[in-house]
Amino acid sequence: MLKVIHGILLIAYIIVCVVLTVIVLMQEGKQAGLTGAISGAAESYWGKNKGRSMEGGLTLATKILGVLFVVLSVILNMSIF
């Protein structure tokens, strides 16, 4: 029974790793935001509502998947499996 749970967690871990990598690569660099702030683009609609934009969603997904990555890493490295 523990081997089945370990297999399921391992598959979930691999999926989280791949999705986390893709989401991190999809995000804009911090330099792009700095350039926009210098030119005044930060005062636009997207600058004020960044949490509702695609970039805000990617940031939230990165945080959630990062926590899930750490939790799954700890669980998979426990000696019960």
The total number of structural domains that make up the chain:
1
Question: Looking at the domain assignment, is residue 27 inside a domain?
Answer: yes
Long-range contacts of 29-36 (CB under 8 A, 24+ apart): none
Structural domain including 30 reads 2-76
Compute the distance between CA of residue 19 and CA of residue 5 in angstroms, rounded to an integer.
21
Q: What predicted TM-score, i.e. pTM, was given to this entire model?
A: 0.72
pLDDT mean values, one per 10 residues, the chain (81 residues): 94 98 90 58 56 86 97 92 68
Compute the distance between CA of residue 67 and CA of residue 53 in angstroms, rounded to an integer.
22
Question: Looking at the domain assignment, is residue 81 inside a domain?
Answer: no
